[in-house]
Amino acid sequence: MDLWDARAAILCGDLSLGELVDSLWERIGALEEKIQAFLSLADPAALKTAEESLAERPLRGIPIAIKDNISTVDFPTTCGSRFLERFRPVFDATAVARLRGAGAQVQGKTNLDEFAMGSSTEHSAFGPTRNPHDPERVPGGSSGGSAAAVAAGEALAALGTDTGGSVRQPAALCGVVGLRPTYGLVSRWGLVAFASSLDQIGPITRSVRDCALILSLIAGHDPRDSTSLPVEPRDYTQDLEGGIEGWKFGLPQEYRPRELGPEALSLVDRWASAIEELGGKVVEISLPLTEYALPTYYLIASAEASANLARFDGVRYTTSAPGETVKEMIATSRTLGFGREVKRRIMLGTFALSAGYYDRYYGKAQRVRTLIAREFEEAFQEVDIIFGPTSPTPAFRFGEKEDPIAMYLSDIFTLPSALAGVPAISIPGGEIGGLPFGLQLIAPRLGEGKLLRAAYALEGVLSR
């Protein structure tokens, strides 16, 4: 049962909220010790008592899991870091508040790579999350806890965050649906910042219809977020029907390299056949700047991380480490509080912003980012949707990608659209070696309605 069906069953009296909560906690009891998707959980008894007060709202008291870098007043918000181990926000993030306003309840907070910096959820200070399809493999990251919880049936839906692919890549590796909205469509207020010009909250669900429902509830302008777009809320579930007949789907040659391997290439051909079966037309296009997306992203994201994480100094938010001077106390606190991957990105970003190197690295990366965005705009003059793999490989084994560059390449197909600020979704696209392999669809800016309609049509064919 997905979120949509559970909501309908509660409405018609075939299922009570208490029965739903019991079912979820039964799965958690059976699987959580092995998967470790959650860092904190609500009291199930408290969730069940909300049935009467929330029964008339759209989500009818249904529990939703929240990634642990999104502020919640009734749960700690650790960002997967020892630095914030005891931090408890005094407000809900806008996205969380809107879900609560629609009748949802916070089920718990899910695990993530520390400060959302990673592609495997191996870099959480509280231990890794494991892939429900194979516990010896990673769930992807950084929203690995959210994706694993949904894939394992421990949650009906979850919120994640996507900076360079952190909703879509774990969704692909866990075999669920993950959407990165247009930058600014969903408020970032209450999201602990990693890279402010890239971060975006998005839903992870079991179906495209669920994804459209959650997006409808969390999207819309927020005056507290200076990057929030002035758009009115809308019901994206109304966009799902109608099919894709006559639409043009662009397959970039850069998203179909020979290095993908024969099984992955075979799935890409299957996706193209499914599009044509539905009346769409597949055309080959080129996005030649794709090869520059990785260095561009890591310069921009690391520079912004260096600035954003400067606030974690051992004085605020957490307990200070000892030191004879303030400088020594801050240095010790940051040394002990941050993990290796976070330190790596802070140092890279600080160097890129330093005197004499700012324009050579950060400034040039920003100019390339503009070119990448223009390249997408030009491509969408020719096609309605761009498609290709979400990730180059299915889920890999723990410790398999210790080289940082090899790990960063896990996001090679998700980074360009993140830099361009356009919406993209990953849906289950088949299996390789018994492991999920994701299909990514990309639409023009604010093209979520078109994107979800295409995903919904293809989901119906590919799930047969």
Residues 6+ apart with CB under 8 A from 314: 320, 321, 329, 330, 332, 333, 334, 337
Using CA atoms, how far apart are residues 250 and 270, in angstroms rounded to an integer? 15
DSSP 375: H
**Cβ-contact 177, 171 below 8 angstroms:** yes
Burial class (CB in 10 A: 0-12, 13-18, 19+), 381: exposed
225: how many CB neighbours lie within 10 A of its CB?
Answer: 16
Angle subtended at Cα 110 by Cα 197 and Cα 78, rounded to the nearest 5 degrees: 65
Q: Is 417 helix (H, G, I), strand (E, B) or coil?
A: helix
Using CA atoms, how far apart are residues 405 and 396, in angstroms rounded to an integer? 15
Burial class (CB in 10 A: 0-12, 13-18, 19+), 9: middle
Catalytic residues: 67, 142, 166
Q: Distance from first CA to last CA of the chain, Å, rounded?
A: 17
Residue among 196, 151, 155 at smallest CA distance from 171 = 151
Using CA atoms, how far apart are residues 362 and 103, in angstroms rounded to an integer? 43
**Cβ-contact 245, 281 below 8 angstroms:** no
Here the tokens at position 191 are 């999201």
Using CA atoms, how far apart are residues 222 and 386, in angstroms rounded to an integer? 29
